[in-house]
Amino acid sequence: MLIIAGLGNPGAKYAGNRHNIGFMAVDAIHRRHSFSPWSKKFRGEIAEGELGGEKVLLIKPQTYMNLSGEAISEAMRFYKLQPADLVAIYDELDLSPGKARLKTGGGHGGHNGIRSLDAHCGKEYRRLRLGIGHPGTKEMVQNHVLGDFAKADRDWLEPLLETLADNAEMLVRNEDSQLMNKIALALGGKAEEEKPRKEGKDREKKPAGQSHIRQARSSNQPKLPATGPMAEMLKKMFGNKGE
Q: Which amino acid is at 207?
A: P
pLDDT digit string, tens, across residues 93-116: 999 999 999 999 999 988 999 999
Q: Tell me, what's the pLDDT at 69?
A: 97
Task: Report the catalytic residues.
Answer: 19
User: Residue 50 phi/psi, 5° resolution?
Assistant: -130, 145
Q: Tell me, what's the pLDDT at 202?
A: 43
Pairing state between β 39-41 and 100-104:
unpaired
- Show the low-confidence residues of the chain (pLDDT under 50): 194-222, 224, 234, 237-238, 240-243
Q: Tell me, what's the pLDDT at 188?
A: 87
In contact, 27 and 11? CB cutoff 8 Å: no
Sheet holding 126-131, edge to edge: 39-41, 44-51, 54-61, 2-6, 86-92, 126-131, 100-104
Q: Tell me, what's the pLDDT at 220?
A: 46
Q: Tell me, what's the pLDDT at 235?
A: 53
Q: Tell me, what's the pLDDT at 172?
A: 96
